[in-house]
């Protein structure tokens, strides 16, 4: 096993072996989830805080369920019901939670670098659940887990990520994870949202959707990240859908066994035709199911590393 970090802050600092360790551990936890008794005692006595300063459905609930399945105590923190609204800083908020003996902080924040920032001074573990447009490591891990489950291996696959790449933390973390595992990554969308600079990450950039999807083994669709766009990036949603939506005509041009993926939330009729999201080739809900196993694995591994470090310091 290759893992010795008490945090999971990004994908770019992971080795391929560390990515594989998380995926293999997740496979074991997925098997636990298929048993009649789904609980494991590995986090008994630990307190996990879901520190979400941005909205979330999948990630927050998935982490909550993952921590519960591992027998931890879980605290859900949301900005609206907190003293962040009264001007308290993120740092003071986190330190107060640590004063209540929190062990693991799962952090989602609009600022890129928020999780890295907290990891600099908190004694507990920090897991990045999405920071600005920078990263969403557990999303990328559950995506590559799902690809591996369906395709056997990620190495050599052609993966196309289609949509708003510029503002997407999912895209960045996916690119890192896919490249670590040896996939060929193609990015496509409006030129304003898919700048050529992404070629420096080893990706192919194209504005021709037919070219982007024709040889793809996986098509991963991303929504427009309106919440992070500060200016108009394309003329209208209708025009975007016409030029870049995965509709039936385009689906017919893909390989018959190409997987259709989406991290959610889906904007049906914009980046994907509604019934394609629910078709046989769609693995969108498999991604959600696998997210639970991946997050159990991450919680387990960071806790093991933190305990190992604490034991060494005691010794």
Name the residue nearer to ligand CP (CB basis): 56 or 68: 56
- State in angstroms the smallest separation of the CB of 289 from ligand CP: 13
* Cα-to-chain-centroid distance, residue 257: 24
Radius of gyration from C-alpha coordinates of the chain: 19
Residue 257 carries which DSSP code? T
Specify the residue, 23 or 205, whose C-beta has the smaller distance to ligand CP.
23
Closest approach of Cβ 161 to ligand CP, in Å? 14
User: What is the nearest approach in angstroms of ligand CP to the Cβ of residue 292?
Assistant: 13
d(CA 221, CA 165): 10
**Nearest approach, Cβ of 313 to ligand CP (angstroms)?**
35
- Torsion angle in degrees (nearest 10) through CA of 291, 295, 297, 299: 180
Rounded to 10°, the helix 137-151/58-69 angle is 80
Residues lying near ligand CP in the complex (CB under 6 A) = 56-59, 130, 136, 139, 263-265
The answer to whether the beta carbons of residues 293 and 33 sit under 8 Å apart is yes
Residue number with CB closer to ligand CP (170 or 205): 170
Please identify which residue in the block is written with the tokens 């973390």. Answer: 173
Q: Which is nearer to ligand CP, 113 or 264 (CB)?
A: 264
Please report how close the Cβ of residue 62 comes to ligand CP at its closest, in angstroms. 8
Residue 47 or 139: which CB sits closer to ligand CP?
139
């Amino acid at each position: 096993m290759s893992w010795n970090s008490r945090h999971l802050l990004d994908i770019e600092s992971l080795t391929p072996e560390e990515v594989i360790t998380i995926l293999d551990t997740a496979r074991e936890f997925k098997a636990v989830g298929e048993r009649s008794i789904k609980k494991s005692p590995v986090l008994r006595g630990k307190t996990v805080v879901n520190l979400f300063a941005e909205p979330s459905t999948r990630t927050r609930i998935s982490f909550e369920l993952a921590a519960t399945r591992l027998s931890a105590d879980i605290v859900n923190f949301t900005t609206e019901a907190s003293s962040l609204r009264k001007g308290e800083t993120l740092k003071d908020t986190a330190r107060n939670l640590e004063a209540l003996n929190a062990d693991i902080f799962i952090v989602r924040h609009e600022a890129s670098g928020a999780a890295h920032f907290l990891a600099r001074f908190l004694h507990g573990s920090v897991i990045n659940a999405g920071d600005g447009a920078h990263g969403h490591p557990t999303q990328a891990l559950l995506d590559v887990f799902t690809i591996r489950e369906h395709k056997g291996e990620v190495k050599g696959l052609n993966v196309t990520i289609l949509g708003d790449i510029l503002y997407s933390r999912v895209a960045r973390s996916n690119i890192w994870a896919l490249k670590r595992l040896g996939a060929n990554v193609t990015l496509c969308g409006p030129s304003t949202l898919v700048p050529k600079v992404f070629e420096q990450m080893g990706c192919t950039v194209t504005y021709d959707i037919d070219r982007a999807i024709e040889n793809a083994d996986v098509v991963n669709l991303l929504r427009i990240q309106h919440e992070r766009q500060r200016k108009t990036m394309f003329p209208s949603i209708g025009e975007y859908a016409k030029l870049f939506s995965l509709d039936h005509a385009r689906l017919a041009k893909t390989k018959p066994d190409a997987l259709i993926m989406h991290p959610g939330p889906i904007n049906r009729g914009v980046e994907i035709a509604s019934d394609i999201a629910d078709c046989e080739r769609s693995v969108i809900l498999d991604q959600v199911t696998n997210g639970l196993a991946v997050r159990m694995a991450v919680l387990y591994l960071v806790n093991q590393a933190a305990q190992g470090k604490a034991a060494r310091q005691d010794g």
